[in-house]
Structures are given as structure tokens and as C-alpha cells.
């Protein structure tokens, strides 16, 4: 996985006023936690950070001290209306260590004619080395028929990743909804026939 370098700068001002000033300067207040060290308060460029966060489980290189500090995003706070990034929590990591991440499930292929795909879980949890964090997992549903179930343990994982989500956790099911519709139509037809029979009996 390639590293995304952000121009991190030390931050000495705190509070809402300082945060507003930073945002007016197109900077995002952030904190780097981890490895038993005191939190490091920084600012990062707003636009570059927004673009970088489009990549799931991105690995960042933050120029802190004599060498870059590797980090992954632990939490992002956004304005609920404008969706502007207000604050970022980074987790400091080291090459060679592993961490747990959430990855989206991407469905590829088309199920058997008339069937639809029900995604029960949009994400699964994996453990992987921090310099090789997966951005997603693919699940191929091509040709699968009604009633087919794909559990987390059935998914082919990216190289080096291990599953954290329970293996029997249902991720995808394949159903054929037309059968249910036909049953409803059949019931309505039967009720109509019964109604007609009752009306005929009353006329007699």
C-alpha cells in the first residue's frame, strides 16, 4: 500500500476559536494517538485530507520529528450539514504490526435470472499488516440461485488478511421475490373465487 503524505504542522492553540481560525486557513485540527506516547496535536491541509479520506483504510505519512510517522485514521468528525471535516483522530502505527480494520463488501456479477442480491452486511472486520491494509473485499454472486447464502467465512480475503468477523456471520443472501408475488396473487384469486361463490349462493 502506498503512503499518503500530509503536511502536518504542530498545533499549539486549542478550543473552538482556534479550530475556527484553522478552518478559515483551510486547515483541519487533528490529533495523533498511539504507542503509549502523549497525543500530538497537529493541523493538516483540508483539501488534501478530504481527498485522501476517499481511500478506505489509507496509510498516512506525517512529518513529525526526524522521520515520518505512519498513521491510519481512527475517527473523522464532520459538520452534519455541510459535511466539512472538522477534526481527525490519527492512530500511530509501525511497519510490521497488524491492526483491525473495517472493509466494505463489493458485490460483483449477476445472480441467476429472476433472483436479487440482499446484502446483509455492508462491511466485515479484518486484521492485516498496517502497510498492506485492504480497501475492500469482492464477493462474486454470478449465477447464484434462490436461497444461496454467503457467510463471512466463505469470502476470499486479500493476501495477508485474516477474518475477525465470525465465520458464520451472514453477509449476502440470494432470493427470488417473484415466488412470493405469485403466492399473493394466488391467494387474492382464491379469495375472489370464494367471494363470487358466496354471492352466487346468496342470489339463490
C-beta separation of 172 from 153 below 8 A: no
CB of 8 closer than 8 Å to CB of 42: yes
| Predicted pLDDT of residue 199 | 54
Q: Round to whole Å and give the CA distance between 49 and 51.
A: 5
Q: Is 157 helix (H, G, I), strand (E, B) or coil?
A: coil
The residues that bridge with 67 in the sheet, in sequence order, are 64
Paired with 73 in beta bridges are 90
Residue-level pLDDT at 202: 56
Laid out side by side, the sheet with 98-108 consists of 137-140, 98-108, 123-129, 162-163
pLDDT over threshold 70, residue 18? yes
* CATH fold for the domain made of 3-94: Ribosomal Protein L25; Chain P (2.40.240)
pTM of the model: 0.74
Beta carbons within 10 angstroms of residue 71's beta carbon: 28
The fold of the 100-179 domain, in CATH, is: RNA Polymerase Alpha Subunit; Chain A, domain 2 (2.170.120)
> Under DSSP, is residue 95 helix (H, G, I), strand (E, B) or coil?
coil
Provide φ and ψ at 56, rounded to 5°: -65, 135
pLDDT band at 19 (very low <50, low <70, confident <90, very high): confident
What pLDDT digit, counting tens, does each position of 58-74 carry? 999 999 878 889 999 99
Q: Is the pLDDT of residue 194 over 80?
A: no
Three cell numbers written together for 100 = 483491525
- List, in sequence order, every beta strand (DSSP E) within 56-97: 59-64, 67-78, 85-92
With CA atoms as reference, report the closest residue to 18 among 80, 91, 89, 86: 86
CB contact at 8 A, 129 and 156: no
Residue 15: CB atoms within 10 A of its CB come to: 8
pLDDT in tens, 98-137: 999 999 999 999 999 999 999 999 999 999 999 899 999 9
The domains of the chain are located at: 3-94, 100-179
Secondary structure (3-state) at 89: strand
Amino acid at each position: 500500500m502506498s503512503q499518503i503524505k500530509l503536511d502536518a504542522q504542530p498545533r499549539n492553540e486549542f478550543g473552538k476559536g482556534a479550530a475556527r481560525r484553522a478552518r478559515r486557513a483551510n486547515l483541519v485540527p487533528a490529533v495523533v494517538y498511539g504507542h503509549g506516547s502523549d497525543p500530538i496535536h497537529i493541523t493538516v491541509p483540508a483539501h488534501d485530507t478530504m481527498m485522501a479520506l476517499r481511500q478506505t483504510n489509507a496509510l498516512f505519512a506525517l512529518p513529525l520529528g526526524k522521520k515520518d510517522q505512519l498513521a491510519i485514521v481512527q475517527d473523522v468528525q464532520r459538520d452534519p450539514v455541510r459535511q466539512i471535516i472538522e477534526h481527525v483522530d490519527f492512530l500511530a502505527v509501525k511497519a510490521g504490526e497488524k491492526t483491525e480494520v473495517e472493509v466494505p463488501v463489493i458485490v460483483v456479477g449477476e445472480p441467476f435470472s429472476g433472483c436479487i442480491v440482499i446484502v446483509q452486511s455492508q462491511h466485515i472486520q479484518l486484521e492485516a499488516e498496517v502497510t498492506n491494509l485492504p480497501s475492500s473485499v469482492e464477493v462474486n454472486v454470478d449465477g447464484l440461485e434462490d436461497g444461496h447464502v454467503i457467510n463471512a467465512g466463505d469470502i476470499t480475503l486479500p493476501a495477508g488478511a485474516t477474518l475477525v468477523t465470525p465465520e458464520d456471520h451472514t453477509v449476502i443472501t440470494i432470493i427470488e421475490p417473484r415466488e412470493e408475488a405469485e403466492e399473493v396473487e394466488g391467494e387474492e384469486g382464491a379469495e375472489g373465487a370464494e367471494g363470487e361463490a358466496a354471492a352466487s349462493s346468496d342470489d339463490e
